[in-house]
């Protein structure tokens, strides 16, 4: 598959501080790609370069076959950035925000309406689309920001920590929507310090720390190469409605589990012994009337991989 983004010896400095150093990578069109790194790792600056908000100090970057240094305007036309800070009119409804931001898009009114309604539906915004967003939860505005970014029908969508601070349901709506867009051929690029966003959306991941790419490969290859054993991902109906504390203290209280995390209806469990403990977990869920939909052994966690490569935690 042809690369839609290509960076060669990409470097960015602010004053005497090097923020990105000699990055080389390619992202294929239609790929879901994640840059994983802690705060001040350089990932935000990288997103800003891809969005044409800042220029590299040296090196080259191509977007859609266009050299951004030579023709940034042409490259910018196929890219849409979902800003981390909400840039919506709070006294407008979703429909009014979409109409306002759509007025800046070069597209026939019929096509624009079709794209707008599809985006609202994809991120479960339609039912409250007539209500001023200041009267709705923060998660609604977060999802609406992504819908607004879709108005230009971009080939590339850039996002920073898109599910940070959201409830499980809203986070799942966003990750499901991004996966569907990727399946339709959109290129999704996420920068985040949250491994669950990477695991839920991205097929390929670049691990970034202090401005350098430490590893870049398909997610399963990175986990296989640098990961640990004795972890499972388990998806079961109804888990999204059960608080993690209750799962720990009531369902799994007598089971030797090293750690457990929850994202929507999926549990990421690190076990002391995979085979023996796994059967006990499945029995506990069955006894509680919770049907398991999917289960797989995970060869490692991205948190552990990052620690091995960088010698520090993702969120210190």
Task: Supply the CATH number for residue 273's domain.
Answer: 3.30.70.100
Total structural domains in the chain? Answer: 2
Give pLDDT tens digits for 192-232: 998 889 988 999 999 999 899 999 998 878 877 776 556 77
How crowded is residue 183: how many other Cβ atoms within 10 Å of its Cβ?
Answer: 10
DSSP label at residue 132: B
pLDDT tops 80 at residue 283? no
Q: Given a cut of 50, is residue 299 above it in pLDDT?
A: no
Q: What is the pLDDT of residues 143-181, one digit of tens each?
A: 999 999 999 999 999 999 999 989 889 999 999 999 999
CA 137 from chain centre, in angstroms, equals 20
The rounded mean pLDDT for the chain is 87
Q: Judge if 189 and 293 occupy the same domain.
A: no
Domain match, 112 and 217 both: yes
Residue 236 shares a structural domain with residue 171: no
Check whether residue 196 and residue 248 sit in a common domain.
no
Which residues does residue 58 pair with via DSSP β-bridges, in sequence order? 11
Taking alpha carbons only, the member of 71, 264, 47 closest to residue 160 is 47
Task: Assess whether 168 and 79 both reside in one domain.
Answer: yes
* Rounded Cα–Cα distance for residues 203 and 70 (Å): 30
Residue 233 and residue 106 share a domain: no
297: phi then psi, degrees, rounded to nearest 5: -75, 130
If you write DSSP's letter for every residue of 24-79 in order, what string do you get?
A: EEEEETT-EEEEE--TTSSHHHHHHHHTTSS--SEEEEEETTEETTT-HHHHHTTE
In this structure, are 16 and 147 located in the same domain? yes
Q: Identify the DSSP state of 42.
A: S
How far apart, in Å, are the Cα atoms of 299 and each of 108, 283, 313?
49, 23, 19
The span from the CA of 213 to the CA of 205, in Å, is: 10
Q: Does residue 41 form part of some domain?
A: yes
- Residue 187 burial by Cβ neighbours in a 10 Å radius (0-12, 13-18, 19+): buried
Q: Determine how β-strand 156-160 pairs with β-strand 187-192.
A: parallel
Between CA 47 and CA 84 the distance in angstroms is 11
Span 120-130, pLDDT tens digits = 999 999 999 99
Measured between alpha carbons, how far is 258 from 245 in angstroms, rounded to an integer? 15
By residue range, what is the domain housing residue 175?
3-224
Residues 50 and 120 in one domain: yes
Tokens of 76: 């910018």
């Amino acid at each position: 598959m042809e690369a839609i983004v290509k960076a060669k010896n990409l470097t960015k400095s602010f004053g005497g501080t090097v923020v990105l150093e000699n990055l080389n990578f390619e992202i294929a069109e239609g790929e879901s790609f994640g840059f994983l790194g802690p705060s001040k790792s350089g990932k935000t600056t990288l997103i800003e370069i891809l969005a044409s908000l800042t220029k590299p100090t040296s090196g080259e970057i191509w977007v859609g076959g266009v050299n951004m240094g030579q023709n940034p305007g042409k490259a910018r036309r196929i890219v849409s950035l979902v800003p981390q800070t909400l840039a919506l009119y709070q006294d407008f409804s979703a429909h009014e925000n979409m109409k306002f931001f759509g007025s800046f898009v070069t597209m026939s009114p019929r096509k624009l309406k079709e794209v707008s309604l599809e985006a609202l539906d994809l991120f479960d915004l339609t039912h409250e689309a007539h209500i001023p967003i200041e009267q709705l939860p923060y998660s609604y505005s977060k999802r609406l920001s992504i819908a607004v970014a879709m108005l230009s029908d971009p080939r590339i969508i850039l996002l920073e920590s898109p599910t940070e601070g959201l409830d499980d349901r809203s986070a799942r709506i966003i990750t499901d929507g991004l996966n569907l867009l990727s399946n339709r051929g959109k290129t999704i690029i996420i920068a985040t310090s949250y491994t669950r966003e990477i695991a839920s959306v991205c097929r390929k991941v670049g691990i970034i720390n202090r401005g350098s790419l430490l590893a870049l490969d398909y997610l399963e290859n990175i986990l296989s190469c640098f990961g640990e054993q004795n972890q499972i991902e388990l998806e079961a109906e109804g888990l999204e409605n059960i608080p993690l504390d209750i799962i720990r203290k009531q369902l799994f209280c007598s089971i030797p589990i090293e750690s457990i995390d929850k994202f929507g209806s999926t549990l990421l469990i690190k076990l002391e012994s995979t085979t023996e403990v796994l059967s006990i977990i499945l029995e506990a869920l069955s006894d509680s009337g919770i049907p398991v939909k999917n289960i797989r052994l995970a060869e490692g966690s991205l948190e552990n991989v990052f620690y091995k490569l960088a010698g520090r935690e993702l969120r210190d």
